[in-house]
Amino acid sequence: MVLPRALTPPADPDTPDPAPQQAVRTSPPRRLDRILPVVVLLAIAGFAMIGIGSPLFGQSTFASTNEMAGTSPYSEVPEFADVRATNNYLDDTWDSALPNTILFADQLREGNIAAWNPYTAGGVPLGSTPNYALASPLTVPFYVLPLWYAPGIVKLLEIIVAVGGMYLFLRRLRIGTAPALLGGLVYASSAFMVVWTGWPQTRVAAFIPAIFWAVELIVQNRRLRDAAVLALALAAMIFGGFPAVTGYTVATGGLYLLVRLLATYWGSGASC
């Protein structure tokens, strides 16, 4: 039998207040907020370790040098008879990018800054132009590590910079920790960042999120040191040796800066 509201007996004074129950209901999301970033970090680590693979542990090199076994004089060496290329679309990496980087690194170890490569077509520019990303911060492993081991570490640094820059940018936009990390993983594993591995292109593109993070710093804080952050990120892209990516980034970033300034300060009475 359902009693009328007026006849409903009062609550027992010993009945606990429902507020603690509400607090208990909110604890699982809080635990989830702590767990999800760890899960995404593990996914990022898994992507790096599986994607790069054995070169990270010194068991092979992260370069398509197996293509060389099909060209002379290596094709005439009996020890290379069973070597087969696993990817035939990486020619420029092993016959241009890597040899020039190795030549510059060898000369640097001898105390020389090689501005010229005398071995190609009677001589071509080497360190005097940014074409081979020789001044990129992400190329440093070639100068301090064994040359066969450096390519894998370069790719690892690309992933770290790409994920880190995207994380900082999205956090600046007040995105949660886990989604921001996931955004970094999505960018680092995007088609461009994977397909162009081994070329200077990815060493340039890895800094794109950092550009937009620096732009947000300028919009939100309007400090001179934030402009210095933007300058450093842009310099890293310029030294990366693929100006087309840098140009597209500057054009897009400039438009983004204009839109953000107008959206933030237009009509608010604040001075930009």
The model's pLDDT over 194-216, given as tens digits with 9 standing for 90+, comes to 999 999 999 999 999 999 999 99
Peptide bond into 10 cis (omega under 30): no
Average pLDDT of span 233-239: 98
Q: Is the pLDDT of residue 120 over 50?
A: yes
Please give the residue range of the domain that contains residue 96: 35-265
30 domain residue, yes or no: no
74 domain residue, yes or no: yes
248 domain residue, yes or no: yes
pTM above 0.95, yes or no: no
253 domain residue, yes or no: yes
Nearest to 111 by CA among 143, 75, 85, 133: 143
7 domain residue, yes or no: no
3 domain residue, yes or no: no
> Which of left, alpha, beta for 198 (phi over 0: left; psi -120 to 50: alpha)?
left
5 domain residue, yes or no: no
Q: Is the pLDDT of residue 16 over 60?
A: no
22 domain residue, yes or no: no
Structural contact between residues 151 and 98, judged by C-beta atoms closer than 8 angstroms: yes
Q: Is the pLDDT of residue 23 over 90?
A: no
Predicted pLDDT of residue 3? 47
Predicted pLDDT of residue 202? 97
- Residue 131 three-state SS: coil
Q: Is the pLDDT of residue 187 over 90?
A: yes
| Total number of domains constituting the chain | 1
Average pLDDT of span 74-91: 80
Q: Is the pLDDT of residue 262 over 80?
A: yes
